[in-house]
Amino acid sequence: MTLFNIGFLKFTVIDMVDVLLVGYFFYRLLLLLRGARSLQLLIGLIFFFVIGLIAYWLDLSMVKWFISNIAAVGILILVIILQPELRRAFARLGQSRILRMLLRQESKSAIDEIIRATEKLSDMHYGALIVLENNIRLSNIIETGKSMNATVSQELLQTIFTPYTPLHDGAVVIKGDQIVAASCSLPLSQNPAYHRLHGMRHKAAVGATEETDAFVVIVSEETGQVSYASGGKLFRDLHLQELKSKLDEIFISQ
């Protein structure tokens, strides 16, 4: 059924559905890739696409040749640059509502135990790195440590990070309410802004969150100071209530 005409073109119900689906796709894409770098690249891609349409409309042969030859390479480059964002986006799409609800319940009990453990570790100046897996799997990090399958508890975390115990050196990885690995190695941050940080724990915590959506709790061995890393950024000298609020926001309220 024809809705209206644009010149000699007929705009049908199918065309309207087509436009709405494409519009919805771009809307979801903007939501998933809403980081500053991703959004700038997406705007650049849209600009490139508009220039291409104008070139074909005006029959600019040189521009048409350039666009047709660089398009495939450009898409490949974009996929490489946006790899972390795309991985996060597909991870979100792959999670059902029921699964998210179950994970929230598990995370709530784990968060309470993590906060209690962090308080004890801070008081005793026991250094600690606690990595919480979010949507992106941390298989590469888990493989560097000792595999575990234990429910998160204050006592267990405190025992793991007690100095000179076999698993104290490295990070613990938590998924839901389970400790899945201990004594794990984390990649150091590639951000020059953090190169002068004192202490490898903070650099490692930031590094683990630059390529994933993990959340890392850090306890300083020297000062007992509590910090966290998220999204490639470090937030230092926190009160425990601030830490709990952030954990609830990411793992419970999302």
pLDDT for the residue 98: 47
The whole-number average pLDDT for the span 136-150 is: 92
The whole-number average pLDDT for the span 132-154 is: 92
Residues 6+ apart with CB under 8 A from 103: 176, 251
pLDDT for the residue 71: 62
Q: Has residue 142 got a pLDDT over 70?
A: yes
pLDDT for the residue 78: 61
The partner residues of 178 in beta bridges, in order of sequence, read: 151, 175
- Residue of 186 and 78 predicted with greater confidence: 186
pLDDT for the residue 145: 95
The whole-number average pLDDT for the span 93-98 is: 50
Structure tokens at 79: 């996929």
Q: Has residue 200 got a pLDDT over 60?
A: yes
For 20-50, write each residue's pLDDT tens digit: 776 666 666 555 555 545 556 666 667 767 7
- Residue of 180 and 253 predicted with greater confidence: 180
| Contact criterion met (CB below 8 Å) for 125 and 224 | yes
- Residue of 104 and 13 predicted with greater confidence: 13
**202-211 long-range contacts, Cβ below 8 Å, gap at least 24?**
202/227, 202/229, 202/234, 202/236, 204/129, 204/171, 205/129, 205/229, 205/234, 206/232, 206/233, 206/234, 208/131, 208/138, 208/141, 208/171, 209/233, 210/84, 211/84, 211/187
Q: Has residue 130 got a pLDDT over 70?
A: yes
The whole-number average pLDDT for the span 76-87 is: 60
Q: Has residue 99 got a pLDDT over 50?
A: no
Identity of the amino acid at 91: A
Domains and CATH numbers, the chain: 2-92 (no CATH), 96-251 (3.40.1700.10)
